[in-house]
Structure 1
């Protein structure tokens, strides 16, 4: 609502000559180290900063994990969570979905567990099943990256956790990936979901997962947050501004609040540019 209001206000002021349209092109102040924002509707670049620099992308990696799973599995397939999946998240201090060994959940539910609370336990379970094995799954991720033209992207695990010689990508490549997955109605629906509840059954506990993306529901329609110390605070987002779909990626921002502030400034600037 705030972005739409900014757009309408500028249009009104420009109509009466009370604002210089050139001011719409003033670069917004963002604190992320690597940034790329496109207007997917117009096919134009709205903002770019070190967009081809190869850096870790933390849990944005899980977007590719979801993309590969969608091409390997049925949503109603059932996956059994192993002790290895649970230990993987616990020993690395990773975000998790609270899964327990022996639980059996559908791929649909596990995708929610990956993309909402950013569960490393869930991503490991899916990778282990649909590699089969994590190493083979990562190979699938890299083949998918190549097929999508992500020339500066290399994955080494399905969750973005730091490791020697770990994942590398660019803000530009990640925007291309975001454009691609938004065409998948299942992923597009999941990444904009604020809350997903799984009722208790004979084969799993009850779960409630909340989306970590604080731009939802009014300021964005997804996609994913990420954080590790090497990567900093990351955000992949999409929003409709003035009838145009904006898709952006922020990498290496300085804090949790900073990444949302950066995204809002970018989207506000886009609204102003469209109105001008």
Structure 2
């Protein structure tokens, strides 16, 4: 006589056996693999994307090709300043006419700093990274380089940029300017610039600056009054268009075309990447968006 309890056990065992048989008959011995993520096509000449947690490559296109970097160079400018020992972000720097003349001579991007104004190092960093001010870059190089003349200080500062690049393992990079307006020997790669961004993002002050969409500086004029500057707006449109974006920096120029170093965090995962020599400002943002979506899809 089979009791009700024993009957249930037998039926369950039979069901398990039938299921197992069906699985074996179908040749399925493991869980089905996740659907492959399609590799994106980007307009940029080169690109690179990595998992920030372990530096693992997620995407690469010509990633070791040396190219002009435009104002993405300013990431290193900021990194050198922020790595100075006993750095006082509230220290004031007086804006010199040389900085203004440099902007005019090179038709360069500007933070519109006023000659004679006293501007803090913190404000200069915002002026460097948001509107991509070459005047701010010049002021920082002059402030944090060592030497008895401005030219010597700037040369020393650029030397610090190259030393820092070596420490970050940027083996295919050379800087010959503080802002990307090079003298023929200012270059890097998508992979190296991604390494740079990853290292720079370890600094809390850097992270705070590059994720800021807009910043209004209050400077001190020659007469001691307060000047409220026009707001500096971040040129990195991903901060508004791509959820989770945490930076980093745009770049452009006749040689560099349109560049973007970018980073975003979603579900506790951070990816960092670079596109160099894209075809327009809007396309570089589209290229970066494609890579970000691809990276997060691969990480799951």
Inter-CA distance 268–151: structure 2 relative to 1 (3 Å threshold): same
| Mean CA deviation greater in 261-270 or 69-78 | 69-78
Counterpart contact for 2:176–2:182, Cα < 8 Å: no
Give me the whole-angstrom Cα distance separating, in 1, the residues matched to 2:40 and 2:155: 41
| Mean CA deviation greater in 239-248 or 61-70 | 239-248
Aligned twin of 2:116: 102
Gaps of 5+ in 2: 1-31, 147-152
Give me the whole-angstrom Cα distance separating, in 2, the residues matched to 1:143 and 1:270: 31
Give me the whole-angstrom Cα distance separating, in 2, the residues matched to 1:242 and 1:269: 15
Please point out which of 129, 132, 135 is paired with 1:118.
132
Aligned twin of 1:142: 162
Aligned twin of 1:213: 236
Which secondary structure does the structure 2 equivalent of 1:140 belong to?
helix
Aligned length, in residue pairs: 255
Correspondence list, 1:159-238, <5 A: 159-163=179-183, 165-199=184-218, 201=220, 202=224, 205-207=227-229, 208-217=231-240, 218-238=243-263
Q: Report the RMSD for the aligned CA atoms in angstroms.
A: 1.7
Which secondary structure does the structure 2 equivalent of 1:23 belong to?
coil
User: Structure 1 stretches (4+) deviating beyond 6 angstroms?
Assistant: none
Give the Å deviation of 1:219. Answer: 4.4
Question: Which one scores higher on RCO, CA 8 angstroms, separation ≥ 6?
Answer: 1
Gaps of 5+ in 1: 1-18
Give the Å deviation of 1:76. Answer: 1.3
Give me the whole-angstrom Cα distance separating, in 1, the residues matched to 2:120 and 2:218: 12
- For normalisation by structure 1, the TM-score amounts to 0.88
Aligned twin of 1:91: 105
Counterpart contact for 1:82–1:101, Cα < 8 Å: yes
Give the Å deviation of 1:136. Answer: 1.0
| Mean CA deviation greater in 218-227 or 178-187 | 218-227
